[in-house]
């Protein structure tokens, strides 16, 4: 009896606490009964309660609809990074330095152009350059052909080397560089002359004229900014 009394004394507080705890809410049924009712006039209705008296009744167990889970609220979209404007690529054209054009003058005043500034060579006697010419005495006291000087004077600058044993030397016409605008005008004039000659030229000469005109066009594009 004492043991039973002790057990009752120990379990009494537990029963008291259990009585104070509210029961857990019952889970809703996963199925539902749907009633199909047909009246005497043939009208059909569906309802979740039994049919009224006098109506034909059909009951069917169906899956209870379940609400769809709440859709997550979309967070504010992160804006894409701003596109960096890339400048369009530019064509780079490397041009060669303009080539100079020279105008040369002959002793007769005739003018022509040269690409290298070296005029046409011509043969002139030494005495025309102010170089003294010695003559060898002939037998009997006469004067014969001039004797070559033992120490000839050096030829002027930009002149060709004198021929050994001759009475003259090669010299070149004087040349001066043309301004860029005048040089371009002379190149276009030269191309116009080539085109005029082209119509009356033979086929072999036409090939040479075409080659020369292509070279002129390329030089005009590079040196003069266009044709």
Do the beta carbons of residue 104 and residue 174 sit within 8 Å?
yes
For 97-152, what is each residue's pLDDT tens digit?
A: 889 999 999 999 999 999 999 999 989 888 877 777 655 555 554 444 444 444 44
Residue 159 has what pLDDT?
Answer: 47
Lowest mean per-residue pLDDT among 13-17, 41-45, 205-209: 13-17
Separation CA 198–CA 205 (nearest Å): 8
DSSP 55: S
For 167-210, what is each residue's pLDDT tens digit?
A: 888 999 999 999 999 999 999 999 999 999 998 889 889 999 99
| Assessment of whether the complete model's pTM goes beyond 0.75 | no
Whether 20 has a pLDDT exceeding 80, the answer reads: no
| Percent with pLDDT over 90 in the chain | 29
Q: Average pLDDT of 51-75?
A: 79
Catalogue the long-range contacts made by 29-32 (C-beta closer than 8 Å, 24 or more residues apart).
Answer: 29/64, 30/63, 30/64, 31/61, 31/62, 31/63, 31/64, 32/61, 32/62, 32/63, 32/64
Residue 25 has what pLDDT?
Answer: 59
Edge-to-edge strand list for the sheet holding 174-177:
111-114, 102-105, 174-177
Whether 11 has a pLDDT exceeding 60, the answer reads: no
For 174-185, what is each residue's pLDDT tens digit?
A: 999 999 999 999
CB neighbour class for 105 (10 Å; exposed up to 12, middle 13-18, buried from 19): middle
Separation CA 54–CA 38 (nearest Å): 9
- Any idea which residue has 């116009």 for tokens? 192
Average pLDDT for the chain? 76
DSSP 142: -
Q: What residue ranges do the domains of the chain occupy? A: 96-131+165-178, 179-227
Residue 38 has what pLDDT?
Answer: 85
The secondary element (H helix, E strand) that includes residue 189 is helix 180-200
């Amino acid at each position: 009896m004492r043991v039973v009394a002790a057990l009752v004394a120990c379990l009494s507080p537990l029963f008291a606490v259990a009585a104070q705890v509210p029961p857990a809410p019952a889970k809703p049924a996963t199925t539902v009964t749907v009633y199909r009712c047909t009246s005497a006039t043939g009208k059909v209705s569906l309802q979740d309660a039994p049919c009224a008296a006098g109506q034909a009744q059909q009951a069917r167990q169906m899956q209870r609809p379940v609400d769809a889970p709440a859709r997550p609220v979309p967070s504010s979209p992160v804006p894409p990074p701003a596109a960096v404007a890339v400048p369009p690529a530019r064509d780079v054209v490397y041009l060669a330095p303009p080539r100079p054009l020279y105008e040369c003058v002959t002793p007769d005043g005739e003018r022509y152009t040269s690409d290298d500034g070296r005029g046409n060579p011509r043969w002139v006697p030494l005495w025309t350059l102010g170089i003294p010419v010695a003559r060898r005495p002939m037998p009997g006291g006469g004067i014969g052909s001039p004797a070559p000087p033992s120490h000839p004077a050096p030829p002027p600058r930009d002149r060709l080397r004198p021929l050994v044993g001759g009475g003259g030397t090669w010299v070149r016409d004087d040349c001066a560089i043309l301004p860029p605008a005048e040089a371009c005008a002379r190149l276009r004039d030269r191309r116009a002359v080539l085109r005029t000659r082209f119509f009356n030229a033979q086929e072999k000469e036409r090939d040479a004229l075409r080659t020369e005109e292509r070279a002129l066009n390329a030089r005009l594009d590079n040196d003069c900014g266009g044709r």
